Structure 1
Amino acid sequence: MNRRMTAAKGIAFAAVLSLGLAACSSDTEPEGESTADEMSDEEMADAEPLTIGTILPVTGTLAFLGPPEIAGVGLAVADINEAGGVLGNDVSVEWGDSGDTTDPSVASSTATDLISNGVSAVIGAASSGVSLSVVDTFAEAEVMQISPANTAADLSGYGDFFARTAPPDTVQGAALGSLILDGGHMDVAMLVQNEAYGTGLRDHTQSAIEAGGGSVVYGATGGGEEFPPGETNFGAQVTAALATEPDAIVIIAFEETVAIVNELVAQGWEFDGTTYFCDGNLSNYGDQFDEGTLAGVQGTLPGAQAEDDFKERLTTWYSENEGGELADFSYSAESYDATMLAALAAVKGGATDGRTIADNIRAVSGSEGGTEVSSFADAVAALEAGEEINYQGMSGTGPLNEANDPSSAFIGIYEYDDSNEYSFVREIEGSIE
């Protein structure tokens, strides 16, 4: 390896480690409703039952993420209700489809339905572009939206009624850029979906590559080479990308990835050690491609590696309630944590309306410090004792900062084998400025 590559690897690694923590917290108590420890049994009995909605992908190019996210919400609600519910009542769920950005009417219709059905909080969307299309609608209705998968930087600090349990692209972009440089690659082509998620992650990945001395030779910011969501024909894009003679290719897309891979195969691209995926397309492809097609492909996924016990519980819930099997667990932990934070915010604030949840969600995530708790029952007990709490979730993220982003998060590194399925390799923890 030459000196330039060695230096690039060191710079990229340092870039990930130096994503300095700059989350700020307030010392003031939220105003409004009585807190849980101040409420009498009679007041708790009078509280409205908490209804949580979902706006998660059942259809569209991100539908493969729907099952693990749905399982995360469902399991969290089951755990909450088993522990006594919220303010003396069981939590109920209104399930909804987000679709994708190719048909905005799906998410718009779901948002309208959820609001009319009286939800106080919604979990979703998976797509940043979808969230950007409905976030104002939820905010105007004072419904708290908590995304388990949105990473677009445009959503950081968007407003009081939006939070997320997935880190923004500043963290994943740095990790993905570092991974590429660590592979010895300096001339990188990027096939990028033209919407908030795709271009945002591209921009931050490109910054990390360039900081390490590399360059993006196709698909760079300002090049106008992105493809529209839902594209099915990639002959021209792949031909143009390969004409730049890249030593690595990054694919930032959703379901379009299948067509991209098939075109790359047709044009003779060698995937092993030269190709990189990310959370939007990190999926088990199995026999969708010939055996060994994706062997050696690496990818990144926000979130800590799910524990085996948690995976088993998710699988059981999904089988019993949805009648299917989970193919992977992407964003299941973040969905579980988003649901828990909504419920705990209601408990802390003593009411189940969206404003109360918005006013208390940062505090229960640990922004005020407090007792570390990892179960709903322990969290409620601490709140009823008048303590601040620091919810230690399944996803391993830090407390929400003033932008309602996790103040720290893990990025998992994964690699595909001959069966075109991916497995965990290692993880990097990054903090958010």
Structure 2
Amino acid sequence: MIRSTRAGRTLAVAGVLALALTACAGGSDSADEPTDGDAGGGSGEPLVIGTILPVTGSLAQLGPPEIAGVDLAVKEINGAGGLFGADVEVKHTDSSDAKNASVATASAQELISGGVSAIIGAASSSVTLNIVDDITGAGIVQVSPANTATDLSGYNDFYFRTAPPDSVQGDVLGNLIVSDGASNVGILVFNDSYGTSLRDVVEGVVTDAGGSVVYGTSGQEFDPDETNFATIVADAIAASPDAIAILSFTDQTPAIVRELVAQGWDMSKTYFVDGNLQNFGTEGDVGFPAGTLENAQGTLPGAYPSEEFQGRLLEIDPELKDFSYGPESYDATMLVALAALKGGASDGETIQANMTAVSGADGGTECTGWEECSQLIEDGEEIAYQAASGVGPFNESNDPSSAFIGIYQFGPENTYTFSRSEEGEVPSS
């Protein structure tokens, strides 16, 4: 179910601030029932959180806002006195991307051996699929602020995400393309779990509406390492699409755009997604001549961030250029800390057992931010954390039960601005 709204809830991003911190409190075995710990007793060990987020690689543009979101949450928690009488500590590591899988593997092992109880990341679904078994197998809670692959829904009791699966973004993107009048759709999609998962949803929406995907169906994906798109673009245009969606990451997208322009494609009929939506501008390696992307559109999970929340992120990282998945990272960190507080301990098992409850899945008093929510927990109340990103409580698959998808439009300087949001319910697997 989708509804349109122009309400600016909150979405944000932040900078790469590494904190050199000591470790303690590792994870343990899984638990099925919430822990009735002494929330206000300070009986827990200090909470240590790790991050595996993209500092390098094809999603490096997402790293600064995501890291800033984590750091903002930690700053607010510690500014209010911390947790269990101590500051929450954070260890930042790099995830890179699926082409450099050894980076995330090394980061995961570093954090596991370093005694973290929760890990925020990865951004890429493919990267997560490479490391999630090691992390969750160690009894550590993993919360991704940006994974959208549908096959991660309900993957493990210790795996959560604050971004919706592609069933929501794909539905919004497919309906956006159809509502703009396209019936024959081309999809330039790379052979990655993120791309194919999103493609499958878009294709289903288009065909259900009576249209067809004329290029980019199963078997027509391109290699993630592809650098020459002349033939791929020529084949797509030869299929006579009314619109083309580019489902890839930012390292392939500039070359794809340049090839589309060179072959005469009307770029106003082009659609981007969260993996490649960025302010390309008119200069540098990713920039294009002014007007290249004018009226092209893109989708991005998350409610549009308020100016107030953007300002808080910019205090963490003044160099932020956009805020993609910053709010989701902030929410992930807050939910981990609130779950530890509710359970009275900072180990992974306790956090896992209380994540769903503090998200509001069972009801409770609505609250925002650490001070308000932590006080309610210490007073013995059940809470329903109101996410900065606008997502609903966790469902049975540890996905957000609802989420907003922002729709953005490019202007003459090849930068995008917010147009509107659509809210969708997330099905349980």
TM-score exceeds 0.5? yes
- Are 1:257 and 2:256 matched, yes or no? no
Q: Do the aligned partners of 1:367 and 1:390 also contact (CA within 8 Å) in 2?
A: yes
Q: Which amino acid aligns with 2:177?
A: I
For the aligned residue pairs, the C-alpha RMSD in angstroms reads 1.5
CA distance in 1, matches of 2:369, 2:256: 42
Q: Deviations over 1:252-275 (max 9, x none)?
A: 011211110011111111111x11
1:228 corresponds to: 223
Q: Which amino acid aligns with 1:34?
A: G
Aligned partner of 2:393 among 390, 399, 424 = 399
CA distance in 2, matches of 1:129, 1:376: 32
- Are 1:269 and 2:268 matched, yes or no? no
Q: Do the aligned partners of 1:362 and 1:404 also contact (CA within 8 Å) in 2?
A: yes
Q: Which amino acid aligns with 1:291?
A: A
Shift of 1:35: 3.5
Counterparts in 2 of 1:58-207, with a 5 A limit? 58-207=55-204
1:432 corresponds to: 426
SS where residue 99 of structure 2 aligns?
A: coil
Aligned partner of 1:280 among 275, 279, 291 = 275
What is the identity percentage for the equivalent residue pairs of Structure 1 and Structure 2? 56
Change (3 A) 1:177 1:242: same
Q: In structure 2, list runs of 5 or more residues that go unmatched.
A: 5-30
CA distance in 1, matches of 2:118, 2:389: 20
- Are 1:386 and 2:380 matched, yes or no? yes
1:335 corresponds to: 329
Higher helix share goes to which structure? 1
SS where residue 293 of structure 1 aligns?
A: coil
Q: Deviations over 1:60-85 (max 9, x none)?
A: 00001111101101111001111111
1:24 corresponds to: none
Shift of 1:103: 1.3
Q: Do the aligned partners of 1:16 and 1:178 also contact (CA within 8 Å) in 2?
A: no
Q: Do the aligned partners of 2:360 and 2:393 also contact (CA within 8 Å) in 1?
A: yes
Q: Which amino acid aligns with 1:120?
A: S
Tell me how many residue pairs correspond in the alignment: 396
Q: Do the aligned partners of 1:61 and 1:230 also contact (CA within 8 Å) in 2?
A: no
CA distance in 1, matches of 2:212, 2:3: 21
CA distance in 2, matches of 1:228, 1:114: 31
SS where residue 93 of structure 2 aligns?
A: coil
Q: Deviations over 1:80-131 (max 9, x none)?
A: 1111111221101100100101111011000001111111101111100001
CA distance in 1, matches of 2:213, 2:2: 19
CA distance in 1, matches of 2:378, 2:312: 28
Structure 1 stretches of 4+ with a deviation exceeding 2 A read: 15-18, 28-33
1:371 corresponds to: 365
CA distance in 2, matches of 1:280, 1:202: 13
SS where residue 95 of structure 1 aligns?
A: strand
Q: TM-score, normalization: structure 2? A: 0.90
Q: In structure 1, list runs of 5 or more residues that go unmatched.
A: 1-14, 19-27, 320-324
Q: Deviations over 1:205-262 (max 9, x none)?
A: 1111111111100001x2x111122321111110111110111100001121111001
Q: Which amino acid aligns with 1:36?
A: A
Shift of 1:29: 9.3
Q: Deviations over 1:1-51 (max 9, x none)?
A: xxxxxxxxxxxxxx6459xxxxxxxxx9935462305x3xxxx1x521111
- Are 1:36 and 2:39 matched, yes or no? yes
2:317 corresponds to: 318
SS where residue 157 of structure 1 aligns?
A: coil
2:408 corresponds to: 414
Q: Do the aligned partners of 1:334 and 1:395 also contact (CA within 8 Å) in 2?
A: yes
Q: Do the aligned partners of 2:50 and 2:116 also contact (CA within 8 Å) in 1?
A: yes
SS where residue 362 of structure 1 aligns?
A: helix
Counterparts in 2 of 1:40-51, with a 5 A limit? 44=42, 46-51=43-48
Q: TM-score, normalization: structure 1? A: 0.89
Q: Which amino acid aligns with 1:165?
A: T
CA distance in 2, matches of 1:32, 1:66: 33
SS where residue 421 of structure 2 aligns?
A: strand
2:239 corresponds to: 244
Q: Do the aligned partners of 2:35 and 2:354 also contact (CA within 8 Å) in 1?
A: no
- Are 1:293 and 2:292 matched, yes or no? yes
CA distance in 2, matches of 1:178, 1:32: 42
